[in-house]
Amino acid sequence: MTSEIDVGSRAGVKGGGDIAGRRIGTGRRGDQVFALSARASGILLLAIMAAIGVFLVWRAIPALQANEANFLTEEEWNPNATPPVFGIAQLAFGTLMSSFLALLMATPVAIGIALFISFYAPRRLAAGLGYLVDLLAAVPSIVYGLWGLHYFNTKMDDVGRFLNEYFGWIPLFGGDSVGGRSLLTASVILAIMILPIISSITREVFLQVPNANVEAALALGATRWEVIKLAVLPFGRSGMISAAMLGLGRALGETIAVAMVLSTAAGISIHILKDGGNTIAANIANSFAEAGETGRGALIASGLVLFVITLVVNMTARAIVARRKEFV
Amino acid sequence: MKNGSRLAALGGVFVAGALALSACGSDNNTGGTSASNAPSNVDCVKGTVNAAGASSQKNAIEEWKKLYAQACAGATLNYNPAGSGAGIQAFTAGQVAFAGSDSALDPEEAAKAQQRCQGNPAWNLPMVVGPVAVIYNLQGVDGLQLKPATLAAIFAGKITKWNDPKIAADNPDAQLPATDIKPIHRADESGTTENFTEYLGAVAKDEWKWEAEKKWPTEAGGQGAPKSDGVVTVLKQTQGGISYVEMSFAKKNSLQTAKIQNGAGEFVDVSEQSVGNALDGAKQVGQGNDLALELDYNAKTPGAYPIFLVTYEVVCSKGLPAEQAEFVKAFLKYTASEDGQKVLSNVGYAPLSPGLAAKVRTAVEALS
């Protein structure tokens, strides 16, 4: 949608197309075909999204009707019991918490990487480094899961103990039975996984910064850091937010790595160093194989919730981006 | 370009590593079979037959069908490990020729099954025995001994330190450290969990108040790990951890296993032999060739290890379409034979005790 408005305003500047930014082009055959195919692609996407939504609702309803507990507030997940009892509370909390923490850790690092590659690194190194970071995205998530399960959580065990001992007064790091298979470990792994997408998009955005702005700032005697502060970051803000939101989308939906790392203890807990926690996606991966009729419906219902959460998060992000596009 | 090809190579290494690693992540340990296991004297019936049921016996069935097909070209069995309930449902609906089940038919199911078998009774034939080992990770303490009540209290979270007086009472000679006990359970739903919780409920009602279910009871606490491999990995990393897995996983990973007290008051380590002893103590509750068993977790049989699961093949005594009946009879004859039972040890189960195996063979002979 943003791009449509983009194109419209640009076309407006050049004096072509109407003010609404809807009808652009010359009316020649090529333009018509292109407009048609672009519109068809847009509609196809909406149709796919709607189909997924309808499918989720359709399959979730019977299970939700059989549910004996409040789906939104219950913490326990046991849809194959008689009677079925399941609720999304703990899963939704774990999903949002781990994704939010991952975003918190990944975004500054990703922007740092992007700035380094775009402005500080020697040319030859920059290209290689860019590839290397992007390569992180090519590692299958089960590899992150295995790495986490066999190696990383034993290391995080010590980190958790350290944080608990010295920063235990912060509620987030408090609590007892600290361990390496905690929400924090999962968040760190998620952060590593979403790093490439945020950094590569941010990099692209930084490349779009008008040279004139940069040169103007330099001409005024700004240091390199001041150039970044005055010209690059404000220009790239909406792009960086979009990139972070794409990363968040991946973190919300990540399945196997989280399922393998987290120990699934029961109950919502604010203590992120404790062994335990669960996410919607990880729960689906763990429970699907042995789930019965109701169990499968319940998992699909949880998928629907994830769908809605992602939608809300993305819409919020769009709203933020739309409000702050002074440079675009 | 040079850079690109180097990266491609690096990517290739990643992908290959991922494939190799993900192969380890699966729950099937159908390794260790060789051509020498191929049965020599089997009745060959060609054809394709469908079956469905318990996932706990999946590895056994897969192995059997492979070996059977090696001996008899053109014989195919499709086993859908959809779960006991789904298997019995498919059986009574006439969709499959036989069902695998973790428990014998209850009266209502038996009535439906009889209808399906043209009025002939359906039989429960025990075929696969799976011992469940209690594994733990505690340096310096080998041969841990646990009474059922102590075991249940540990997994219910009521005993939290290894040097608890109750554990000390079970292990007068051991030097128990003051470390935390960290119970670990399966995060996914599992037949192992169902059998283990059923055992705890049967032998220690005061300590364990939850129903036997495939999903670990939430209130019992502890931390979960995915699949048996995950449980083993986490246990190895967790000093003071305790968990339960099928015996094969404990053996393969050389883990410490606890001796469990049986009904006769002995502390017994898990082994094929000790589980066989327990099986001999099981009472037959079915009529004639219906070998439905009542497992007695408090069996007084000497040398019996009490935690194990028995899965049945549920079959029509008569009344299947002729070509299906012929195949089922021939196939089960093989699985109940000495050759067939010998295969079980390779894939993580224990063979039936000789006495029970003989009864199963008689019952299979009587199928028609």
Q: What's the pLDDT tens digit per position in A79-90?
A: 877 788 899 999
Backbone angles phi, psi at A237, to 5 degrees: -60, -50
- Name which of A186-190, A258-262, B144-148 the model is least confident about: A258-262
Per cent of chain A over pLDDT 90 is 39
Quickly tell me which residue has 């099954």 as its tokens. Answer: B113
Contact: A149, B86; criterion CB under 8 Å: no
B187 vs A127, A128, A264: nearest CB: A264
Q: Checking DSSP bridges between strand B47-53 and strand B98-101, what pairing results, if any?
A: parallel
Pair of tokens at residue B279: 């099986």
Query: In whole angstroms, what is the distance from residue B55 CA to residue B100 CA?
Result: 8
- Residues A50-56: contacts with CB within 8 Å, 24+ apart? A52/A307, A53/A304, A53/A307, A56/A300, A56/A301, A56/A303, A56/A304, A56/A307
pLDDT > 70 in chain A, percent: 91
Is 50 exceeded by the pLDDT of residue A150? yes
Judged by a CB distance cut-off of 8 A, whether residue B53 touches chain A is: no
Contact A315, A248 (CB under 8 A): no
- Does residue B108 contact residue B80 with C-beta atoms inside 8 Å? no
Phi-psi region of A201 (alpha: psi -120 to 50; beta: other; left: phi over 0): alpha
Min distance A307 CA to chain B CA atoms (Å): 23
pLDDT of residue A4: 42
So what's the pLDDT on residue B6?
53
List the end-to-end C-alpha distance of chain B, in Å, as a whole number: 71
Taking only residues 5 to 44 of chain B, the set having a beta carbon closer than 8 angstroms to any beta carbon of chain A reads: 7, 10-11, 14-15, 17-18, 21-22, 24-25
**B223 and chain A in contact, CB less than 8 A:** yes
Asked whether the beta carbons of residue A150 and residue B187 sit closer than 8 angstroms, the reply is: no
Within its chain, how far is the Cα of A185 from the centroid?
17
Distance CA B137, CA B236 (A): 7
Taking only Cα atoms into account, the Rg of chain A, rounded to an integer number of angstroms, comes to 23
Q: Which residues of A touch B55 (CB under 8 A)?
A: 289-290
What are the tens digits of pLDDT across the range A200-241? 999 999 988 888 988 999 999 999 899 999 889 988 888 898
Task: Name the helix (H) or strand (E) containing B38.
Answer: none
The three-state (H, E, C) secondary structure of chain A, written as one string: CHHHHHHHHHHHHHCCCCCCCCCCCCCCHHHHHHHHHHHHHHHHHHHHHHHHHHHHHHHHHHHHHHCCCCCCCCCCEECCCCCCEECCHHHHHHHHHHHHHHHHHHHHHHHHHHHHHHHHCCHHHHHHHHHHHHHHHHCCHHHHHHHHHHHHHHHHHHHHHHHHHHHCCCHHHCCCCECCCEHHHHHHHHHHHHHHHHHHHHHHHHHCCCHHHHHHHHHCCCCHHHHHHHHHHHHHHHHHHHHHHHHHHHHHHCCHHHHHHCCCCCCCCCCCCEECCCCHHHHHHHHCCCCCHHHHHHHHHHHHHHHHHHHHHHHHHHHHHHHCCCCC
Compare A292 and A274 and report the one with higher pLDDT.
A274
For chain A, the domains span 32-326
The whole-number pLDDT of residue A7 equals 42
Task: Summarize pLDDT for A283-306 with one digit per residue, the tens.
Answer: 998 888 777 778 889 999 999 999
CA gyration radius for chain B? Answer: 22
Give the domain A32-326 fold.
MetI-like fold (1.10.3720)
Contact of B221 with chain A, judged by CB distance below 8 Å, is answered with yes
Contact B226 A275 (CB under 8 A): no
Nearest to B21 among A143, A267, A276 (CB): A143
Measured CA to CA, the distance from residue B207 to residue A53 in angstroms comes to 45
Chain B partners within 8 Å of A260 (Cβ): 226, 230
Average pLDDT of A117-144?
89
Confidence of residue A325 (pLDDT cuts 50, 70, 90): low
Q: Which of B218, B228, B229 to mutate to test the interface with A (most CBs of A within 10 A)?
A: B218
Helix, strand, or coil here: B304?
coil
Q: Do A177 and B180 touch (CB under 8 A)?
A: yes
Which pLDDT score is estimated for A3?
42
8 A C-beta contact, residue A278 and residue A307: no
Q: Which of B14, B16, B107, B127 is nearest to B63 (CA)?
A: B127
| Positive/negative CA dihedral, B321, B323, B324, B328 | positive
Contact A149 B213 (CB under 8 A): no
Helix (H, G, I), strand (E, B) or coil at B135: strand
ipTM over the 0.85 cut-off: no
**Segment-wise mean pLDDT, segments of 10 residues, chain B, 368 residues:** 49 49 43 52 86 85 91 89 82 92 86 91 92 93 93 94 93 91 88 89 91 85 86 91 90 91 91 85 85 84 89 91 90 92 85 89 91
Query: pLDDT class for A2, splitting at 50, 70, 90?
Result: very low
Mean pLDDT of chain A: 85
Chain A residue numbers with beta carbons less than 8 Å from the beta carbon of B219 are 266
